[in-house]
Amino acid sequence: MQETVDEMDDITFGLYLRYHYASCDCEDMAGMTNYSLDNFRKINGDTAEDKMKHAGTQTIRSARLTMRRIEESDADMMFYNWANDDKVTRYMRWQAHKNVDETKATIKKWFDDYKNDYTYHWGICLENGEMIGSVGIMITEYDFKADIGYCIGRRWWGQGYTSEAVKAVISYMFEKTDIERIEAYHSVENPASGRVMAKAGMKREGFARHKYKNRAGYHDCDLYGIIREEWEMRKEVHCHD
């Protein structure tokens, strides 16, 4: 992939920034806009041992849900089911979409990234095919670590769908890749998101002041995480139930 920083979508740019801060001096940022992501990785001396095994966005099935790639034909469902809702996006970094064209443009960026096996972004679908939200993983490859984020339409809040989807994606990542840690955080003003993380098997690990900023200002956050050893132990216990 020959992709300059100026052309990256938010998820890939986030991967680039996290990877950069983990392996370079911050002052090196000044001249990075003409580097490709591939060249950046080569310059920083990746070896076979440093590189994660990736699986890409494959279809995942749980008891009530199917998680699959989001396609351009899903734009109406995404827009009307969650992306146009200010209450759904209240704690997100992005604002509610104003029209379907904005949603189509967002999906186009995601869809183009599916060619890369380190892209992880699923639509959450009910048994009838209705897409009700999304869940995504952002990799920090240098640390074999991932951040997980999710969003679901208001009509489906409080029914356990989000925690079911997040739990399924966490299992997929530990089963299909050699990720060591998955983490997440939520605004303290949004405790429901913390319950999702806990139900998905993550542990509350701490608290951070002004962890992120969106249109409402700075947010203090609770931090959650799960490591491979914990996931494997829980899986073993479940197998013996």
Q: What is the pLDDT of residues 1-20, one digit of tens each?
A: 333 333 334 444 444 444 33
Token output for 111: 């869809």
Which DSSP string corresponds to 142-184? GGTEEEEEEEE-GGGTTSSHHHHHHHHHHHHHHHHS---EEEE
* Per-residue confidence band for 32, with pLDDT thresholds at 50, 70 and 90: very low
Q: What is the pLDDT of residues 130-162, one digit of tens each?
A: 999 999 999 999 999 999 999 999 999 999 999
Which amino acid is located at 167 in the chain?
Answer: K
Q: Which domains, from first to last, does the chain contain?
A: 1-51 (no CATH), 52-239 (3.40.630.30)
Nearest-CA neighbor of 56 among 124, 129, 154, 122? Answer: 122
